[in-house]
Structure formats: structure tokens, C-alpha cells
Structure 1
Amino acid sequence: MTSPSNSPGFGNIRPDRGGQAEAFDAIGGRYDEVFPRKEGQVAATEWLAGSLRPGARVLDLGCGTGLPTARRLADAGFEVVGVDLSRTMVDLARANVPAARFHQLDMADLYPGGSRDLGRFDAVTAFFTLIMLPRAEIPLALEAVGRLLVPEGLFALSMVEADVDDFAIPFIGTTVRVSGYLRDELCEVVEGAGFEIVGESFTSYAPASADTKPEEQIFLRCRRKWER
């Protein structure tokens, strides 16, 4: 995995991923055990599947184990590429979705001036991916998504509604740092990055783990508004 810390696309941002990949390496397949129901994510994925042309290219950012998103899209005949920071998650995704391609990369490797070019995509998903970034980095991540998309490309994302920034929480037997927004602020940040929000939904979710608190999940269905 390459380091994005010297990428010219960062400006003054120097990403700190300390412990994040290791946490998800330790969690592994337990993630799907703690989050067995993913109704909001499934619904957003179905929106993409029903909106894209046959054979469209889709990038799954923070793909995790590949379930359910990458598998559903690959089964639908789309060209699916997945990216995750965790080596264990990438290995699980490759086993779960052999028809897709997966890369162990920091999302920042895809930023302007980053170390990897995966081409352009008809759609991008980021389900509970941006929460792993500090708030200062999220607008840059959204800008990168816009650059990865073709004109009028689709973007499905989800966040946990919370007014926090790079805040350490217990999570499935380990600790991760998370960020979040309240609903109106999240919409403002997403729209400010050049996306039209064409649909949204909310889900109250109680994970199957005593150390993982119930959460309010926000799902946004978006379209890239202008050429970059």
C-alpha cells in the first residue's frame, strides 16, 4: 500500500491513518456478523443497479468484505472495482466476489495528484467510508469522487449522523476514529462538492454487538452536477 502523504493534491492536509487499517484487519469477517442487516445500503445499491447502463463501471470505496454491495453489482453484470485500506478486508472481498477487482489502497491515493489512477467510473459508492476520515479531509475526498466520475455519474454514500470529528470510539472489540455530520450539514458539504442530491433516506440501526451503539444512518443518492 502506498503512502499518500506527499501527494501534491493534498495541499496542507497530511492524512493520519494510524491504527485504522489494523483495526479492520482485526475485525475481519466479524463486521458482517455485527451488521447482518443492511437495508439502507441494499436499497441504495438497488438504486444504482436500476439506474446504470449494462456493463457500467462502478467503484466501491471502502468495500469491506464485498458484501453486499460489490457482490450485488458484480452479479448484475457491472464492472466492479473495490478499494479498501485493510488487507484482511480486501482478501475477504476477493473471496466473496471473485468477479470483481479489489485493491488495497488508501482512499487518498485516488485524490488529485495521488499515486493511483483507476480510470473513470459511471458510479461510485462510499458506504460508511467517509466517516473514517477527519472532517478537514472529507471535502477533498468528495472532490476526488467527482473527478473519478463521468459527467452525470452517480454517487451513493452513507454516514452515521453525529456531530463529531476524528473521534475515537470502541468498535467491535477494537478502537476506530470516526467523523460525522448532522443531516443538514452533510447535505451542504456534499452539494458544495458539486453533487445534486436526488434522494435520501434514514435508518435507525442497532448493531449486534454490545460495544457498538445504536446509530442513525443517512443514505444519500447523488448525481455529479458539472464537468470538472
Structure 2
Amino acid sequence: MNSPAGKLGYEDIRLDRTGQAEAFDVIGNRYDEAFPHKEGQIASAEWLIASLPPGARVLDLGCGTGIPTARRLAEAGCEVVGVDLSAGMVALAREHVPTGVFHQADIADLRPGGPRDLGRFDAVAAFFSLLMLPRAEIPLALRTVHHVLVPEGLFVLSMVEADVDDFSIPFIGSTIRVSGYLRDELREVVEAADFEIVDESSYTYAPASADVQPEVQIFLRCRRRT
């Protein structure tokens, strides 16, 4: 059965993760070596910490190695839950952030009625994880984030500014598929998922890896509308 109001649902599309998790399994700790400067992530994590009550429950969606986001949130006393499609990344996150709880799972698993129910969260961080999805899935992922957040919960995300959809690129010795938006369109997609954007920043970034091109990273700080 199709989704109501003409909106696509997960039942209307075919999920294709071919090669995505495997690439990050191979990359492992080299990810942090290729991206040594993460000022945008750190600033957004500090905003969450300053905005949340003590012991807040935070989901790190696409947690990667757990550095720096999950580790910093845990150090600040948050209850951290991380999710990543890559078993290798989940293993590294468990090693780097022993007080966190990490699951190998797909964001689609967390959707309403999906196979994984991790409960509700005071905040969600999604740093460069949504860009691993085709554009058709990104609004569904945002609706899933809205679903797992408490009313007026906080959401921080980052994307690389690019007008691409499920586009194959070389990445730290592997190949991955990425999607992106230009800045105004990204704002529209996020606001359409019923989030209020309360702050925005961007960084021009040149990764240390020779096969990763310089990029403009967009960071949004949002609040779930009730």
C-alpha cells in the first residue's frame, strides 16, 4: 500500500546499500586520519551539551568510529546510543566510547513500525550520514529522526553542499555513493520534515586524503516541531 498524501514511504522504494558498509569496514580508523579537523561536529556537539539537561539521551546516527561526537557527548554525561551500518565502525565506536551503546543497524530500521525500536531521544546527531542515502530516502530518514525525538527534541546534522544524487565517488581507497543538496534546498527538505532550523554554519574543508576533494560542509542546528 502506498503512503498517504502522495508522499513516498519506505514501502514505495527499494533500499540499496550495496558496497556502502563494506567500504567503511575497509576504511576503519583511516577515516579519522583523512578527516583530522572536525570543528563543525565539535561545535554542534557542544551546542547540544549546552542545550540539554544532565543525563540526556542522545542518538548518534551514523556514529562511525565514535570520534569525536559520541565520545564528547559521553564525556559530558549524556546517555549515548550510536547506530552505524558498518560492523567495523561499530566495533571501533565500542572501543573508543566504552560507556556508549552501539548497534549495527540501518536508519530505515528505526522508522515507525520498523524492526528496531531504540526508544525516544532528547537529541539526534547525524553528521554526514544522510549523504550516504539516495535523495528519495533522505526525507524518509528525516521523518524517522522526527519520530525518535521527544517533542521539541534537538537535531544537529551536516551535509556536503553538492547537487548530486546517489553519485559514485572514490573515497579513501574505496568507492561510495553519495547525495547532496545546495544550501537552500537542504533547508527546504529539513523544514518540510517539521524541523525548525535555529542556527546554521558552514566550513570549507580540504581533507587530508588525496582522493577526497575539497568540500563545503553545511551544519544545521534544529528543533523538532511538536
TM-score, L = length of structure 2: 0.96
The corresponding residue for 1:61 is 61
The corresponding residue for 2:44 is 44
The corresponding residue for 1:146 is 146
The corresponding residue for 2:18 is 18
* Deviation of the 1:11 alpha carbon: 2.4
**Does 1:128 pair with 2:140?**
no
- State the one-letter code of the partner of 1:221: R
The corresponding residue for 1:6 is none
Partner SS, residue 180 of structure 1: coil
**What value does the CA root-mean-square deviation take over the aligned residues?**
0.6
* Deviation of the 1:71 alpha carbon: 0.4
User: Cα deviations across residues 169-204 of structure 1 (Å, max 9, x unaligned)?
Assistant: 000000000000000000000000000000000000
The corresponding residue for 1:224 is 224
The corresponding residue for 1:173 is 173
**Residues 31-110 of structure 1 aligned to structure 2 (within 5 Å):** 31-110=31-110
User: Cα deviations across residues 65-91 of structure 1 (Å, max 9, x unaligned)?
Assistant: 000000000010110000000000000
How far apart, CA to CA, are the structure 1 residues paired with 2:73 and 2:116? 23
The corresponding residue for 2:3 is none
User: Cα deviations across residues 117-162 of structure 1 (Å, max 9, x unaligned)?
Assistant: 0000000000000000000000000000000000000000000000
- State the one-letter code of the partner of 1:34: A
How far apart, CA to CA, are the structure 1 residues paired with 2:71 and 2:157? 17
The corresponding residue for 1:4 is none
* Deviation of the 1:13 alpha carbon: 1.5
Partner SS, residue 165 of structure 2: strand
- State the one-letter code of the partner of 1:103: H
5+ long unaligned stretches in structure 2: 1-8
How far apart, CA to CA, are the structure 1 residues paired with 2:64 and 2:48? 18
5+ long unaligned stretches in structure 1: 1-8
**Residues 204-219 of structure 1 aligned to structure 2 (within 5 Å):** 204-219=204-219
How far apart, CA to CA, are the structure 1 residues paired with 2:125 and 2:165? 22
The corresponding residue for 1:116 is 116
* Deviation of the 1:114 alpha carbon: 1.1
* Deviation of the 1:111 alpha carbon: 1.3
* Deviation of the 1:113 alpha carbon: 2.1
How far apart, CA to CA, are the structure 1 residues paired with 2:157 and 2:112? 20
How far apart, CA to CA, are the structure 1 residues paired with 2:11 and 2:17? 17
How far apart, CA to CA, are the structure 2 residues paired with 1:26 and 1:111? 28
Identical amino acids, percent of aligned pairs: 75
